[in-house]
Amino acid sequence: MKARVHVTLKNGVLDPQGKAIQHALAALGFDGVDDVRQGKFIELDLAETDKVKAEAAVDEMCRKLLSNTVIENYDIEID
Amino acid sequence: MKARVHVTLKNGVLDPQGKAIQHALAALGFDGVDDVRQGKFIELDLAETDKVKAEAAVDEMCRKLLSNTVIENYDIEID
């Protein structure tokens, strides 16, 4: 079973990496880029075959390791 | 208009960051994680309102800055 996790910075948290991308795009001549936010994307291959159990396990992984819940949100897709 | 870009390592390219996550999960007691791959997730706010033009612009951004097409794939969603 595959899990796809997006870890993104919460609104209001400064994103220097996103700002660096935005400035680099402007320097390359791409106009009209109003904002850039960079997050992480993690794909997991799980041995678990039960969707509910897999989602619960990944949720725990996100809370314990994959995200910093003080400043980040996470979003899980299982398929 | 919003664009969401996923940048992932091509198959066959070593992913030390993913391996580090996999080992850390195992150390935390999460069994049954067969593989982990980490990629980047970039959200762009674009002034462009034409979907086709926005997609073409983001595709060019991916080729010029956001991804290293030698070792990475990218995937664009516009909405």
Q: How many domains does chain B have?
A: 1
Per-residue pLDDT of chain A (79 residues; tens, 9 = 90+): 999 999 999 999 999 999 999 999 999 999 999 999 999 999 999 999 999 999 999 999 999 999 999 999 999 999 8
Among B49, B44, B48, which Cα is nearest to B76's? Answer: B44
Chain A contacts of B38, Cβ < 8 Å? 40-43
Is B25 close to A61, i.e. CB distance below 8 A?
A: yes
* B21: CB partners within 8 A, 6+ apart: A42, A65, A66, B36, B38
Confidence at residue B42, expressed as pLDDT on a 0 to 100 scale: 98
pLDDT at B5: 98
Which CATH number characterizes residue A31's domain? 3.30.1280.10
- What is the arithmetic mean of pLDDT over B27-39? 96
Q: Tell me if A33 and B40 make a contact (CB, 8 A cut-off).
A: no
Instruction: Choose among A32, A41, A47: nearest Cβ to B8.
Output: A41
Q: Is residue A70 exposed (0-12), middle (13-18) or buried (19+ Cβ within 10 Å)?
A: exposed
The boundaries of the domain holding residue B51 are 2-78
Helix boundaries (H) for A1-79: 16-27, 51-61
Angstroms from B45 CA to nearest CA on chain A: 5
